[in-house]
Homo-oligomer: A and B are copies of this chain.
Amino acid sequence: MSLFKVVSSKLAAEIDQELMGPQVGFTLQQLMELAGFSVAQAVSREFPLDKASIDKHVFVIAGPGNNGGDGLVCARHLKLFGYNPIVYYPKRSERNEFYKQLVSQLNFFKVPILSQEGDSTDWLEYLKPESTLCIVDAIFGFSFKPPMREPFKGILTQLHELENQVPIVSVDVPSGWDVDEGPITEDAINPAVLVSLTVPKPCSNFLKRNTAHYVGGRFIPREFANKYGFEPFDYELTDQILKL
């Protein structure tokens, strides 16, 4: 693993704000499309499609915010790549019309979407280790602040119990971890793969040694990285991810 620099949750929020501010003018839709695509590319790099994997599911768990949106986009690209994603989206965002459109797009691609009903753990019926290639954890991102609420608390406890049977791919931050301090609870999940978006956050320093760590979300100029105090990443050719 090469050395890399991280930025704090505070700085990550500033970067996001600047990218979508009036000067730079990126839209959430653009950044989410590229971020979700990069996560899907990381999944395909780590879990190549072959005879053994093609019938398995990729179980994508989408949280209520932007991290969840990245997961919804990721699921669509995975389907296009030939995978069989299932999406579990227990708390659908109502504040933003675009999230509903991301759901419509998944319906268009015939990707099954499970919803939360009561305190049910029905979703676990669809997450059988023998038929699941990996879990995409798109629950919380860099703006997560404890305490964690249900149903996500229960979901993450389940994921922790499953993590030795089904590899977890976390988007940007392992959900439930403190963005700056790392795993702060005893039942914190241990992802097999982390895809840091734009630049790793401090919690990535607490990954286990055998976690595959990628950076994705290739959308900033080199000088912008320098301005925020990290080295730009040397992505190859048209790749949207780089293994660190």
A3 at the interface (CB under 8 A from B): no
How many copies of this chain does one complex carry?
2
Told that A29-B30, A81-B238 touch, could you supply 20 new A-B pairs with CB distance under 8 A? A23-B108, A24-B104, A24-B108, A25-B101, A25-B103, A25-B104, A27-B101, A29-B29, A33-B34, A34-B37, A40-B238, A41-B238, A44-B238, A79-B221, A80-B218, A80-B221, A81-B237, A108-B221, A108-B224, A109-B221
Partner of A101, one of B26, B101, B103, B235: B26
Q: How far is the CA of A101 from the CA of B22 in the complex (A)?
A: 8
Cβ distance A217 to chain B, nearest Cβ, rounded Å = 11
Q: How far is the CA of A202 from the CA of B15 in the complex (A)?
A: 45
The 10 closest A-B pairs by CB, nearest first: A25-B104, A25-B101, A29-B29, A24-B108, A41-B238, A33-B33, A109-B221, A30-B33, A44-B238, A25-B105
Cβ distance A124 to chain B, nearest Cβ, rounded Å = 28
A79: chain B residues within 8 A (beta carbon) = 221
A223: chain B residues within 8 A (beta carbon) = 110
Nearest B residue to A110, CB-CB: B221
A100 at the interface (CB under 8 A from B): yes
A206 at the interface (CB under 8 A from B): no
A77: chain B residues within 8 A (beta carbon) = 238
A219 at the interface (CB under 8 A from B): yes
A98 at the interface (CB under 8 A from B): yes
Q: How far is the CA of A136 from the CA of B33 in the complex (A)?
A: 23
Among residues 36 to 64 in chain A, which have CB atoms less than 8 Å away from a CB atom of chain B? 37, 40-41, 44
Q: How far is the CA of A4 from the CA of B22 in the complex (A)?
A: 43
Query: B104–A219 contact, CB under 8 A?
Result: no
Q: How far is the CA of A221 from the CA of B223 in the complex (A)?
A: 38
